[in-house]
Every structure is written in structure tokens, then in C-alpha cells.
Amino acid sequence: RIAYVNGRYLAHSAAAVHIEDRGYQFSDGVYEMCEIARGYIIDMKRHLDRLNRSLSELSIEWPVTRSALIVVMREVVRRNGVRNGLVYLQVTRGVAPRDHAFPKPGTRSSLVVTAKRIAPSATAKKAETGLKIITVPENRWDRVDIKSVSLLPNVLAKQQAREAGAQEAWFIDAEGTVKEGASSNAWIVTQDGALVTRPADHGILRGITRTTLFDVAAKLGMKIEERAFSVAEAKAAREVFISSATTIAIPVVDIDGETVANGHPGSITLSLREAFFDIAE
Ligand code: PDD
């Protein structure tokens, strides 16, 4: 495998950043994860627009131009021979002597790009089985709309899920409504077939897959309600699912040990999932 690090294509096993990279010392950086299907990077424009927003919210400079980044991403995908999988990019505020405040002007931000193959059959299998979810209290800061590499609460929540035999954890706010997963957005399908997902205000990350699923749902003539929903409502829903670049749309069949949606992946989720691959660019 090959990775890109600050201007160089290196063997993945030997690729490294400096010990005083601010990503390493302060989690002072942002990232994007894009799906690759049939050799194409899905929703690249939307991912780069979100990257631009994350960078500008944190006053981190682009490490290279947008068009150069596209070239690098495609090259990493090509060099790794990925037809189906993921491409990951990370930008940090760069390398500088440790000091919490920003380094001196002119410090170059760091860029790392990696890609990996994932067999389409592996995710398809997960979609056929469905996922188990646990709920955890929201304990993150209020700027989770920025796709920052500062992910400790997400790491701890995901580990808690794994130890409970589940695959994802949902952050629940003080009102008992579902925010989002540790690495995905949360959705339900109401008994009358409407899709419900939380508005993408500062409380959650505006998932690119979430946005594209809005387009897919519109094409399929499905109704969307952008509003908060409670855990109780999710447990009583017709279907429940999560979305992300890594999963697209995967049904949820269990929440906190209680069977939801009769324990079977829902047909609406599966049709959304199928249509996504026809519509996404
Ligand atoms: N995570 N919410 C959170 C907290 C996420 O980390 C992610 C994605 C999403 C979904 O966003 P998108 O549809 O753009 O992937 C929502 C990536 C996949 C990750 O951390 O690996």
C-alpha cells in the first residue's frame, strides 16, 4: 500500500509525520473520508466543500490547492488499485514547537492521504444482517459540525458499543433525543414511511451521505422530516438506519438490547441504499 505524506508517495508501512505535528500533539486538524465505488470517488465536491468549511472554521490553511488535492486523492486511489473502498485525507495545522496557540504565520499545514480496498460484499453483508446500537449520553463539545480529528468521545463510545456486542453508539442529548452516531448520522422511518433525521445544526456533523440520501429520497418520492427524534420513537419506528461514507445506509435491528423493526433490515432502507449507488456521483 502507498500513502501520500506532505508531497511524497511512500510505502504505507513507512509513512510517518513529525512528532511535533499539531495533529499528533493537539488533535489540531480535520479530515474527510470518501467512498470509492467502481474506481470513482463518490461525492468528491461535497466532501471538499465540507473540508473547506472545517478548515476555515479553524483558520487552518489549505495544504495544497483544491485541484492539487483532487490530483493527489485520485493518484492515491490509483496507486493502491482501489476500485471499491475508502480514501482518507487529513489536514493538520502543521509542524511547530509545542505551544497551544497557533504557530507563526507561514507554518505549512500537513496533508496525509491514504486509501484502502473494501470488498462491496463485506458492506452488503452488514446491510443484510443489520446493526446493533447502544445509546450513550452526549459528552462532546458543541462544534461537532467541524469534521475534526479530535474524536476521543467518539472513540470511547465506539469501544463501549463493541464491548456490548454492538457496532455503533448514538449520542443522546439532555432532552433524550438522538444526536448522531460515533461515526454516522442517525435516521428512522416512521410507520407511514417518512424518513426522519436530525437537522444539521451545530449539534451534529452534516454528513455528506446524509445530504446525498436527501437527493435519493426525493427521486424515490419519499417524504423527509428534518427534526429531532427520541430513543423511544426510534424503538417504535418502522425502520431505523445509519448513514456514513463507510456504510452508506445500513439498517439497525437492535437498540440497547431491544429488537427494533422486527429485527429485520427494512425494505425502505435497503431500497435507499440500492438507489444511492445509481444516483451518487
Ligand atoms: N465518519 N457523524 C459523525 C460523527 C461522523 O464521524 C460521520 C462520518 C458522519 C457521517 O458523515 P459522512 O456521511 O460524510 O461520512 C456523521 C467517517 C466516515 C469516519 O469518521 O470514519
Tell the residue nearest (CA) to atom 5 of ligand 1: 183
Regarding whether 158 and 136 lie in a shared domain, the answer is yes
From 99, 118, 137, the end of a domain falls on 118
Residue from 45, 116, 126, 147 carrying the catalytic annotation: 147
What the block records as the C-alpha cell of 38 is 467502481
pLDDT at position 50 is 98
Regarding whether 196 and 132 lie in a shared domain, the answer is yes
Strands 85-92 and 178-181: unpaired
Residues 6+ apart with CB under 8 A from 65: none
Our mutation pick for probing the ligand 1 site, out of 88, 146, 172, 184, counting the most ligand atoms within 8 A of Cβ, is: 184
Regarding whether 252 and 237 lie in a shared domain, the answer is yes
Long-range contacts of 66-73 (CB under 8 A, 24+ apart): 69/111, 70/44, 72/4, 72/111, 72/113, 73/34, 73/41, 73/44, 73/113
Per residue of the chain (281 residues), give pLDDT as tens. 999 999 999 999 999 999 999 999 999 999 999 999 999 999 999 999 999 999 999 999 999 999 999 999 999 999 999 999 999 999 999 999 999 999 999 999 999 999 999 998 898 899 999 999 999 999 999 999 999 999 999 999 999 999 999 999 999 999 999 999 999 999 999 999 999 999 998 799 999 999 999 999 999 999 999 999 999 999 999 999 999 999 999 999 999 999 999 999 999 999 999 999 888 77
| Nearest ligand 1 atom to alpha carbon 210 | 13
DSSP state of 261: G
Regarding whether 152 and 271 lie in a shared domain, the answer is yes
Distance of CA 219 to the CA centre of its chain: 23
Regarding whether 228 and 107 lie in a shared domain, the answer is no
Regarding whether 237 and 179 lie in a shared domain, the answer is yes
With a 6 A CB cut-off, is 246 part of the ligand 1 pocket?
yes
With a 6 A CB cut-off, is 33 part of the ligand 1 pocket?
yes
| Nearest ligand 1 atom to alpha carbon 180 | 2
Regarding whether 80 and 32 lie in a shared domain, the answer is yes
Regarding whether 252 and 178 lie in a shared domain, the answer is yes
With a 6 A CB cut-off, is 188 part of the ligand 1 pocket?
no
Distances (CA, A) of 175 to 55, 134, 171, 247, 260: 31, 17, 12, 28, 21
From 98, 118, 138, the end of a domain falls on 118
Look at the chain and report how many structural domains it folds into.
2
Regarding whether 163 and 105 lie in a shared domain, the answer is no
**Tell me, what CATH number does 19's domain have?**
3.30.470.10
Residue ranges of the alpha helices (H) in 8-65? 22-26, 44-57
pLDDT at position 145 is 98
At 202 the three-state DSSP class reads coil
Distance CA 104, CA 32 (A): 26
Regarding whether 98 and 139 lie in a shared domain, the answer is no
pLDDT at position 33 is 98
Q: Is 147 a catalytic residue?
A: yes
Regarding whether 106 and 91 lie in a shared domain, the answer is yes
Distance of CA 274 to the CA centre of its chain: 19
Q: Which amino acid is at 238?
A: R
Regarding whether 131 and 261 lie in a shared domain, the answer is yes
What the block records as the C-alpha cell of 205 is 456533523
Ligand 1 center–CA 106 separation, angstroms: 31
pLDDT at position 185 is 98
**Tell me, what CATH number does 258's domain have?**
3.20.10.10
Dihedral sign for Cα atoms in the order 73, 74, 75, 80: positive
Tell me which residue range forms the domain holding 65.
2-118
With a 6 A CB cut-off, is 212 part of the ligand 1 pocket?
no
Our mutation pick for probing the ligand 1 site, out of 45, 183, 242, 272, counting the most ligand atoms within 8 A of Cβ, is: 183
From 118, 148, 182, the end of a domain falls on 118
Distance CA 76, CA 83 (A): 12
